[in-house]
Amino acid sequence: MLGTYRKGWIGIEWGAQTLKLAQVEHSRGALRIVATAVLARKSTDHDHGYLVPDMVPAGRQDPLPPAPAWSAHELRTAIRSDARFSGRSVACALPMYLTELRQLAIPPGSAAERYAMVANEMASAQEAAGADVVFDFWEAEGGETSRAAETVNVMSVASGTVADVTRTLTQAGLECEVLDGFPFSLSRAVGLTFGPSSAPIAVLDWGRASSTFCLVRHGLPLFARHLRNCGLAKLLETVGQTLALPEEDVTEVLTTYGLPGDSVRLCQAAGDGHAAEIQTVIAEAAQPLLQEIADELRRTIAFLGTQFAGTIPERLCLSGDGAIVRHADRFLSAQIDLPVNVWAMPATDHDHDHMVSDVVPAGDAGLPAVAMPQFAAAVALSALAWAPDAGQDFNWSPSECVGATS
């Protein structure tokens, strides 16, 4: 049951360079996107200045970075930019670079005992840095489990970050229902498209400042990795310099033309004789970054195959800002030898009568009207309003968080 509320919470992806908001509604037995907004800021050294390992070793000394300083005024401005937003309840996700993700082996026990054991381990690991963190954890599928110990994934964030974000939301007149870990947001987004698949599905959120890889099974993240140097901002800057275009025009060019593909003949049929030339220029400018992303994906998938039995993904779902690059899915599919799908909400019968954004093309056929892959995480957060266990699988919200160390 989706519950009695017609509209979900406002979903907010709290990024380093972009603040993305989305809201869905329950209509005719399905979910559809009704409101979106995005604020973007220029890249700074701060956005790329932190190295966040995939699994943080015990005894790490460096403190976690602060959250991007989006203001209450900016939040209100974003919400007011689309009159279809309504309500005060929000679910918010923090970017991977703000977090630590590690695995711990703990003895079996009750829920309270396990929380206590993880808190003790986290306190020991953070004591040297004098850090104050909030954490949550979940079972590591495929990890070592025995009568003596079981493996759990633990994701933590600086408690000051949680306080700053929730304070800003409160100042904006909003109420934070769930403060989500980004791998969970991506897992939820995959679930909206493919359902709770028993087969592993990978998702690459190609963000503006960096990218996040996540492996999903049964609706939960099995593994997550932060790809620090694989952000779309590099591509926007390079293509902009090559074509002497401002950033907003670069985005349109990447969406309309993108990488070489069969769509060239369609552009030529429409009277655009420069399509092939533009795509060639884009491909040459994008090659180093795309190749780096493909190499990282291959290395990650190979690692999964050697470390976790039965975790080779059957497909890759592409989300985030970079997913709007035309034919990026084809390029990555050829490189990693897996089917690649651009994230989209399942279409309903009346989506074409109530379009909330322009169609984002992908291949010659184009995506359905509900394909807005840059809002995948925010959409999944909005849909949490109807989840019967919202915030129980993962939540950093001060009123609900399960543990803190100091």
pLDDT tens, the chain, 406 aa long: 444 558 999 999 998 888 999 999 987 778 889 999 999 876 544 343 333 333 333 334 445 555 667 899 999 999 999 999 999 999 999 988 888 888 888 998 888 898 899 988 888 766 655 568 888 888 876 555 556 788 888 988 888 889 999 999 999 999 999 999 999 999 999 999 888 778 999 999 999 989 999 999 988 898 899 998 899 998 999 999 988 998 889 999 999 899 887 554 445 544 555 788 888 889 998 889 999 999 999 999 999 888 777 788 999 999 999 999 999 999 999 999 999 999 998 765 444 333 333 323 333 333 343 568 999 999 999 999 998 776 567 777 655 444 444 4
Residues 211 and 97 sit within 8 Å (Cβ to Cβ): no
Domain-located, residue 5: no
Residues 340 and 318 sit within 8 Å (Cβ to Cβ): yes
Residues 15 and 67 sit within 8 Å (Cβ to Cβ): no
| DSSP letter for each residue of 256-268 | HT-SSSTHHHHHH
Beta strand pairing call for 18-27 and 10-14: antiparallel
Rounded Cα distance between 22 and 216, Å, is 22
| pLDDT on residue 130 | 56
Residues 137 and 155 sit within 8 Å (Cβ to Cβ): yes
Of 182, 188, 175, nearest in space to 218 by CA: 188
| pLDDT on residue 336 | 95
Rounded Cα distance between 221 and 215, Å, is 6
Backbone Cα Rg of the chain: 21
| pLDDT on residue 150 | 85
Of 90, 55, 95, 59, nearest in space to 76 by CA: 90
Q: What six digits make up the tokens of 389?
A: 């266990």
Domain-located, residue 4: no
Domain-located, residue 30: yes
- Residue 305 sits in a domain of what CATH number? 3.30.420.40
Beta strand pairing call for 403-405 and 133-139: antiparallel
Q: What six digits make up the tokens of 35?
A: 């409101």
Residues 142 and 310 sit within 8 Å (Cβ to Cβ): yes
Domain-located, residue 188: yes
SS3 state at 388: coil
| pLDDT on residue 353 | 38
Rounded Cα distance between 206 and 222, Å, is 19
Domain-located, residue 1: no
Tally the domains of the chain: 1
Q: How many CA atoms lie within 13 A of 45 on its CB side?
A: 0
Domain-located, residue 46: yes
| pLDDT on residue 328 | 93
Name the amino acid, one letter, at 405: T
**CA dist list (Å): 102 to 33, 138, 187, 190, 362:** 34, 11, 18, 23, 36
Domain-located, residue 2: no
**CA dist list (Å): 204 to 74, 92, 118, 271:** 27, 19, 29, 35
- Residue 15 domain boundaries: 10-405
pTM for this structure?
Answer: 0.84
CB atoms within 10 A of CB 358: 9
| pLDDT on residue 262 | 59
Name the amino acid, one letter, at 75: L
Residues 391 and 178 sit within 8 Å (Cβ to Cβ): yes
Domain-located, residue 397: yes
